[in-house]
Amino acid sequence: MPQCTRAMQAEQLDAALPQTQCTRCGYPDCQSYAHAIAFEQAPINQCPPGGQEGVRRLAEITGRPIRPLSAAHGQETARAMAIIDEQWCIGCTLCLKACPVDAIIGANKRMHTVLESACTGCELCIPVCPVDCIRMQPITGQATGWAAWSAAQAAQARARYRRHTQRQAGRAAQLPARNPAPGPAPAAGQPTALTASLPGSAPQAADAAPMQADKRQILADVLAKAQARRRAQ
């Protein structure tokens, strides 16, 4: 198959995927999985959110035989939404960074909340939460796969994911400007031009490491206590 035809097929395959961006297929996102099917002959049965109907749709596009959903990649289930127990949320923002569609809102040291209309049920926020305050709640009853998900929801999820990745790329591009490459290191024991002009700079530098260690220990203690309380419930 010509490369241009494979590229068109990859676009069709991507449009046929539910766009949950859950990575259960083994690829970073839905577009990467679609590309792998078109260009690398990846199996078409590795998308649990799409379920068996999703396999049928991919088979129709590729002309391949329909196969059972791969159990190694997950099972077809009802769509679920992430629920944050706000009583235990410590506002660490790790789940905000993990969500591929920006469905979680909040700020550092502030309570986080999930936008029900935007959550795809990808579960990527679960493993990053240090206090286990996020759970998945099924919200579609007996409906599973594409019966629990619409084309409009998939289109919205893809648009939100693209905005998310564009924003990440923009931030990454700004990092070199914010953090310029350091110049030659000063000789051992010699102050830099900046620190030499600051009174008491040597004691401050000496105290920095213990202070950082104290902060890390305090955070570790807070997380340990929160997890212990959760287990005791």
Domains of the chain: 3-73 (1.10.15.40)
Considering only CA atoms, which of 33, 52, 31, 54 is closest in space to residue 42?
33
The least confident of 11-15, 97-101, 215-219 is 215-219
Torsion angle of the four alpha carbons 22, 28, 29, 33, in this order, in degrees rounded to the nearest 10: -110
- At 120-163, the pLDDT tens digits run 999 999 999 999 999 999 999 999 999 999 999 999 999 999 99
Beta strands in the chain (DSSP E): 80-84, 104-105, 113-114, 134-138
Task: List b or e across 215-231, with b for residues whose CB sees 16 or more CB atoms inside 10 angstroms.
Answer: eeeeeeeeeeebeeeee
pTM, entire model: 0.75
Chain length of the chain: 233
